[in-house]
Amino acid sequence: MSHSIVTITAVDEIVTVGSDGAAQHVFTIRNDTGAPIKVGIQVLADAPVEDDWLTVDQPERELGDNAADQVTVSVKTPAGLAAGRYTYRIRVYSVKQPGEAFTEGEKVAFEVKEKAKVTVQEVSPKKCSWCIPAAIVAAVLVLGVAGYFAYDKIFAKKPEEDRIVMKDYGGWQLTSAINDLVKKGLVFDAKNLKTAWKDAKSVSKVIDQTPPPDEKVKPNTPVAFTVGRSKTGHIFSAHQLKALQTQNPQILMQIKRAQPRAIAPETE
C-alpha cells in the first residue's frame, strides 16, 4: 500500500517559454515522513510532451526530518512546437521504497506563445499600371538603405542589438540565477549581494535585482541580487551548501565574502 512522503508546492503553476524555447519551473518539497529520507525526483509528462524536454536539477537528494528543499525543472522545447499549454507533474519517491513511498504533485504547465503572422496583400496586375516604376524606385531605395547600413555596421559604433535584455530572475534559486547570467555574458556582483526576510518559500531565492528586468545592458554588466533569507539570517540549507561547495566553489567564495553570516547552513 502506497503512502505520501512529501508536500510539493510549485512557485508558478504556468511558465511561458521564451523565444529560445526555454523555461524553468521551481518547486518546494518538504519531508513529511518524520525522519530523514533519501528521495528521487522524476517528471511525469502528459502527451505530447517528451521526457527529454524536461530536466530535473539533482534528481536524487537527502532530506532531513521536516526539511524543505527546492527542485528546479528546466524546460527545453523543440523548434516549431505548436502554440499551446503543455502539462506535466513531478513525482518524489523514496529511493529505498520507490513503489510504496512516493508523492505526485499537481499538474503544472509551460505555455508556448503563437508567433505573429505576417500577411502579404496580393495586387492584381491589371489594376497596377504603376507597379513596375514603383518597384524600380523601391529597389533603388532598398539598395541605398542597404549600403548605408553596411557602411554603418563597418565604421559606426556597435548597434543596440549588442545589448543584453535583462531576464526577470525573481523566484529563481540564487545559484541558478548566477549560472544563467554568466552564460549570457553578464557578471555576478557579489560585493552588493543583499539578503532580506520575506517568507519561508523565498529562502535562497532572488526577490530583487539590479539592473531590473527588461532593461538593456552591455555585456559584462555587474548584476546584484537581493536574496530571501531565513529568520536566523541564513540563505542556504545544509544540503544546498554541500552541493554548492562541490559544484560552484568559486561562487560560494564570492557569496561568503559578501555575506559571511548568511553562508552558515540552515539547520531548522
pLDDT the model gives residue 80: 92
Q: Is the pLDDT of residue 160 over 70?
A: no
The secondary element (H helix, E strand) that includes residue 257 is: helix 249-258
Band (pLDDT 50/70/90 cuts) for residue 42 is very high
pLDDT the model gives residue 150: 63
Mean pLDDT of the chain: 85
In this structure, how many other beta carbons lie within 10 angstroms of the beta carbon of residue 100?
A: 12
Band (pLDDT 50/70/90 cuts) for residue 162 is confident
Q: What is the pLDDT of residues 60-118, one digit of tens each?
A: 999 999 999 999 999 999 999 999 999 999 999 999 999 999 999 999 999 999 887 65
pLDDT the model gives residue 129: 61
* pLDDT mean over 12-20: 95
pLDDT the model gives residue 102: 98
Which of 20, 84, 16, 24 is closest to 49 using CA atoms?
Answer: 84
Higher pLDDT, 120 or 268: 120
Residues 6+ apart with CB under 8 A from 60: 38, 39, 40, 41, 95
Residue 132 to residue 82: CA distance in whole angstroms? 39
Report helix, strand or coil for 91: strand
Residues of the chain with CATH 2.60.40.10: 6-112
Amino acid, res. 3:
H
Band (pLDDT 50/70/90 cuts) for residue 176 is confident
Q: What is the pLDDT of residues 128-142, one digit of tens each?
A: 566 667 777 777 677
Residues of the chain with CATH 3.30.10.20: 163-259
Fold of 163-259: Trypsin Inhibitor V; Chain A (3.30.10)
Q: Is 237 exposed, middle or buried (0-12, 13-18, 19+ CB in 10 A)?
A: buried
pLDDT the model gives residue 159: 54
Q: Sign of torsion, CA 222 226 228 230?
A: positive
pTM over 0.85: no
* pLDDT mean over 117-134: 61
Q: Is the pLDDT of residue 161 over 90?
A: no
The CATH code of the domain at 6-112 is 2.60.40.10
* pLDDT mean over 192-209: 91
